[in-house]
Every structure is written in C-alpha cells, then in structure tokens.
Amino acid sequence: MPRLYGFEDMAYRRVRESEAEGIRAAASRRLLEQSYPAICEWMNAEGYRTTRGGLFKPDVLANILDHPAIAGLAEDENGELVETGGPAIISREDFEAIRAMRPSNNPDNQRAEQREYLISGSLGVCGLCATTLGASPSNAGARGHRCPPSTAQHPGGCGKVRINADLLETYVAEHVLAELAKPEVSALIGEARDELLAQAAVLRKEAASARRRQKKLGEDYARSPDISLKAFRSADQELKHLIRESETKARFLEQVKHVPVGDVPDLVRWWKHAPMRAKKGVLVLMLEQVAVYPAASRGSRTVDADRVALRWRQWGDATSDEKSA
C-alpha cells in the first residue's frame, strides 16, 4: 500500500515538507473553488509528482485533500472527525471547508441527500445493549440503522436491532414537531439553545486544557529520565481519550446553533424544506436519546412506542426523565 502523499510514514506522524507544500498550495486553490483538473495542471507544471513519481490526476488529488490525516484528524466508527494528535498540514477549518465542497454535499445531488441520516452520532442507541446505532443500508439499498454485532475491533454491540431509517425518522419527527408546537416549549427555544452552546463551550475548553497537558507531558518525557515509556503512554492515551470525548460531545451539542429562534408559523412546512443540519440541531435540542428495540416480528414495518423510546432533554435540569412518545 503506498504511503499518503505528504507523509514519510504510514502512521501520519512525520511530514514530508516538500510534498506538504504542494498540499497547502492545492488546498488554497481548492478553497478558491478551482476545479481539480485545473489544480492538477498547475501542480504538474510546477513539478509536483505523486508518491509513485507520476503526474497528478483529479481523482488522486481529490483523495489526498479528502484524507483526514492532512489535518491531524481521523474518522471514528460513526464517521465523526476526531483529533489524533498528529501533525496538521492544513487547518481543520480548511479541511472541513474543502470536504463541504464534495459533490456528495451538493444539495442538488439527489443520491447524496438520500444517504444522509437524520439520527446520527450518539443520538440513536440500541434499546437492548445501549450501543450507538450505525448506518446500515438494506440489501435493496434502503437507508437503515442497526446495532453492530460485537467484533474484536469494536466490542459491545449485540447485533439484534435493525430498523428502516425512513420509518424511524418519520416517527421521531412527528413527535418532536408536536412537542415544539406547544407554546410553553417554543417560548424556551432560544434559552435552551444558548444553554447547550454554553455546555459545548465548556467541553471545548476542557479539550484545549487536556491538549496543553498532553503537550507538556511530551516535553516532560523528553527531558526527564524518571518518566517510564509505559507511564508516558498510559497518560498520553488517557489525555487523548479525554480530548476525543470532549470534542465529540461538543460537536454534537453545537449542532443546535442551526436551530431557528423566533416564531415559525408552520413547523411542518418548515421541517419539510429545512436543511438537514437544522433538522439535526432540532433533534439535539429536544432529545437526549432515541432508543430502538427489536421489531415484534421479522420484516415488521411498524414503528411505535413499543419499538422506539424517546428521552427528552430537560433544559436547565441536570436530570432527564425518559418517556416513550
């Protein structure tokens, strides 16, 4: 397997600066909305070559600029971007902006929109084992969720729950919109959104503090012969976990910034035409968890309170009561 352009090693820890310059230049041009063929033409003319010594082609360059490692990131099992502690050739902001320009993120792309999932991240869980549900299209290609079976790499899932995404999303949306329509709830939307964004800001600060401690730990280990490699690795892994967990939770809560504040005359009409990020923000604002249980019979398309339990978020209260809608 060839190494990733821009790095000396397969662990993405040592940058090859001569190639990193090409990545930064290509990223800058892409952010100016230049096409990949045009960027490749420029790079080839400037003498940049692939890891195999060949000319750059649009698909090759697109894969490089779409690789999270160039921003010091990786994708977890849920497809979320997480910090790795590795070197960043370009900033996370630039990387995410370039990713947002992918054809799959084009709102006119019907196929891409069909593959988006309203219930994602840690919101949807298996009702039997509490494992986060993963996206799992059916053999016919229909969007779906399932509890992943336990493996050596990803232990924990029971693999006993599967549900059609369209049916689940329709059920959840109906109950969320009904709750939002209550005057006493809609009056608190602005305050609730600010409350969750404040929680996200605290999590960001915790992650930044842990990152500073991680950096100091590395400096102390390099200077002090008293710190064993085992102790260093253990502390470093603990800090990495804290950083990853805090940033993941912060990104989840920050989705509420897309929720509209103010009077929405026709919630159903708004929901029908709202962008996916706004819909996700509404779910994060209203719900702490969507637990899905097995169907009563194989092949059942019934989605009701026996299959789905909604745990509503209690604003201004550290506790929350679970209720099935």
- Would you kindly state where each structural domain of the chain is located, as residue ranges? 17-101, 117-180+264-325, 187-255
- Tens-digit pLDDT profile for residues 17-71: 999 999 999 999 999 888 999 999 999 999 999 998 999 999 999 999 999 999 9
What would the mean pLDDT of 74-103 be, rounded to a whole number? Answer: 86
When pLDDT is cut at 50, 70 and 90, the band that residue 80 belongs to is confident
Q: Which fold has domain 17-101?
A: Hect, E3 ligase catalytic domain fold (3.90.1750)
Query: Measured at the alpha carbon of residue 70, what is the angle toward residues 65 and 71, in degrees to the nearest 5?
Result: 110
Are 222 and 279 in contact by the 8 Å Cβ rule? The answer is no
CA–CA dist 325, 311 (Å, integer): 9
* 250 to 181, 204, 304: CA distances (angstroms): 27, 6, 31
Phi, psi of 278 (to 5 degrees): -70, -40
> Could you report the per-residue pLDDT of 122-137, keeping only the tens digit for each?
899 999 999 999 888 8
Model confidence over 239-289: pLDDT tens digits? 998 998 899 889 888 988 888 766 666 778 888 888 888 899 999 999 999
Q: Which residue has the tokens 């940033």?
A: 247
